[in-house]
Chains A and B, each alone.
Chain A
Amino acid sequence: MPRLSYRRALTRALADELTRDDAVFLLGEDIRVAASNVTSGLLKRFGPDRVIDTPLSEQAFTSFATGAALAGLRPVIEFQIPSLLFLVFEQIVNHAHKFPLMTGGQCAVPVTYLVPGSGSRTGWAGQHSDHPYSLFAHVGVTTVVPATVADAYGLLVSAIRCDDPVVVFAPAGALDLRADVSDLDPVPLGRGVVRRPGADVTVVAVGHLVHDALAVADELADQVSVEVFDPRTLYPLDRDGLVGSVSRTGRLVVVDDSNRSCGIAAEIIACVVERVRLAAPPRRVTRPDGAVLPFAPALDRAVQPGREQLRAAIQLTMKDG
């Protein structure tokens, strides 16, 4: 079976969609030489009309993509670092996202915003290590965080085919994954998946943390039967899948690499407890409130949710009832 990396799965999704649909084109900074190593080979295959290097003008090229979408194209923007989303939050939220409603349904804005390398990349410090997916979920922009190689491919393909704006966060912690994949298929937006069945507690893990959750579940296998649920799409969230899992286990722990207050973990817990009577209070493992990632590796790690914390949270939850 062919081995494929997460990064190359993104490349393949871009290539397949560029081939399938003439309306798709890519734009971003240094994408022609693939500085981020995600658009490698695409210039040669698709030419400079489909793979377009932009000047450093994030706000203008993000709205430029909105305009191109209004005129019938399907732009995919690659952002070099996640913090650039703060610069273009206005352009995505105030324009791309609101246009269809504000015009009374006269238009669609099918733009994909791809962020390969979101979250902490060791040593990149405060302005390069954010993971702002909760912000987009809050606003209602379709937000996906693929955890696996197959999902990196399948969710990016679905994002590009979606008629609305979609932000795709590819966590830095997942980019180097490799997997044996024979069939790559589109993965529907808004559908989560049980990565590991279990009977005692559901761990909901976002993005690269799915792999940490699976590892912790294995470590604890002789004590607790842990089910790992990967929502894959944070907005729209697969509430039925989530509630289904927690209804079976009766306990909930969420692990999410974003800040605690108003983070997606809070939403996941809220929407479960609205519908399920739990055997123990739910817990969440997140970055601290209002965190900024410090530089020194030990400090960076101290701020990110880790396996130790997750293990402790699962054990406490089991003790609680």
Chain B
Amino acid sequence: MSADPVGLYRTVRLIRRFEERAIDLVHAGTIVGGIHPYLGQEGIAAGVCAALRADDLVTGTHRGHGHVLAKGADPARMLAELCGRSTGLNRGRGGSMHAADLGVGVLGANAIVGAGGAILTGAVWARRRRGDDVVGASFFGDGAVNEGMLLEAFNLAALWRVPVLFVCENNGYATTMPVAGAVAGTITGRAEAFGMPATVVDGQDPETVRAATAAAVARMRAGGGPELVEARTYRFDAHHTFEHVVRLDYRPPDEVAAGRARDPVEIQGARLSTADRAAVDAEVEATLAAAVEFALASPDPDPAGALDHLYASGLVARTGGG
């Protein structure tokens, strides 16, 4: 997506308003199962994807709406997916945590923490083997850096020089577990152990994220191996929309206030003229109004097809009935 100040603002604003509309739909009961809001972290997806080409690949996380939207998926079909409609990106089979749009290079949000890194490494390796000069970006949280498979993927990517940007969104918590209680050593140190360049950036500033990513992408595309970016950020809202129901208490209020004070939408918005900003805001509202209308008007999938797409080879599963 576009890398100019207006384009970056459009992306963070789109993700922010998409999330807010989606939370409304969770509360209305239209989106079932809830979502993991990306509020506050929008600058990372926007900045990273602005440095990628349309044919580059990404893998996202359980908190994945921002990644999918920033890579260029249609917000209307994305919202329809969250609502479980047949017109959704995944025809209502994936929902929030599995939203995928292979057409724009999104190999899927993934609900298993740390799972995307190895998949993306294989996919980018395969594409480059065919001669495409694509690169990839794999998003994951600070909690994921303790998952063995992700560290195995660092090793494979570094060893085989697969151009994958590992993007750690360090929002300070894995659900309720603070980084300090979970991560021995440092996040960048894990990359350095595999001979991977690693930098820490301010994840609240979309321009900073984009600049750091663009530099890494240029090195990677020119034949460099993988790199890691640790983007420091803050999750404005709950881990999950369900969290309010169980009323978890793990973040000091003054910490939350300080985190919210550094808002990527405001930071980027301040770089635009008032008129430009108003124009983008209006455009985003119109896009989302249309998206909500599209999603709500879309039919539910036919239950008779509940196991369609289970097998690409055409194998048909037996019914579970008598």
Residues in A lying within 8 Å of B, measured CB to CB = 49, 54-55, 57, 59-73, 75, 90-91, 94-95, 99-110, 140, 142, 162-164, 190, 236
Contact = CB atoms under 8 A, between A and B. Distances in A.
Contact of B126 (A71, A100, A104, A163): A71
B223 interface: no
Interface in B85-112: 88-94, 98, 100-103, 107-108, 110, 112
A101 B305 CA distance: 11
Contacts of B315: 142, 164, 190, 236
B312 A109 contact: yes
Nearest to B150: A60
Interface string B12-35: 000000000000000000000000
A102 B307 CA distance: 10
Contacts of A108: 312-313
Interface string B65-102: 00000000000000000000000111111100010111
Given A57-B155, A70-B123, A103-B108, A63 B118 contact: yes
18 contacts: A63-B149, A68-B123, A70-B123, A71-B122, A95-B112, A95-B119, A101-B93, A101-B307, A103-B90, A104-B91, A104-B93, A104-B94, A105-B308, A105-B309, A106-B103, A107-B102, A140-B317, A164-B312
B57 to A, nearest CB: 8
B120 interface: yes
Contacts of A101: 93, 307-310
B118 A59 contact: yes
Contact of B125 (A68, A99, A105): A68
Contact of A73 (B107, B118, B126, B311): B126
A39 B141 CA distance: 39
B217 interface: no
Contacts of A59: 118, 148-149, 152
B115 A63 contact: yes
B317 A64 contact: no
B311 A60 contact: no
B155 A60 contact: yes
A90 B310 CA distance: 17
B90 A106 contact: yes
A190 B119 CA distance: 29
A49 B131 CA distance: 13
Interface in B185-224: none
B127 interface: yes
Tell which of A69, A101, A163 has the most Cβ of chain B within 10 Å. Answer: A101
B267 interface: no
Q: 4 smallest A-B Cβ distances: which pairs?
A: A67-B122, A104-B91, A60-B152, A108-B312
A72 B130 CA distance: 10
Given A67-B122, A70-B119, A101-B309, 9 more contacts: A57-B155, A60-B149, A62-B118, A67-B107, A71-B127, A72-B130, A100-B309, A103-B94, A104-B93
A69 B94 CA distance: 19
Given A59-B148, A67-B118, A164-B313, A102 B100 contact: yes
A61 B307 CA distance: 28
B272 interface: no
Given A68-B126, A70-B102, A70-B107, A100 B119 contact: no
A61 B149 CA distance: 9
Contacts of A62: 118
B153 interface: yes
Interface string B148-168: 110011011001000000000
Given A71-B123, A91-B149, A103-B94, A64 B312 contact: no
A102 B112 CA distance: 13
B121 A67 contact: yes
B129 interface: yes
Nearest to B123: A67
A50 B312 CA distance: 24
A110 B118 CA distance: 17
A47 to B, nearest CB: 12
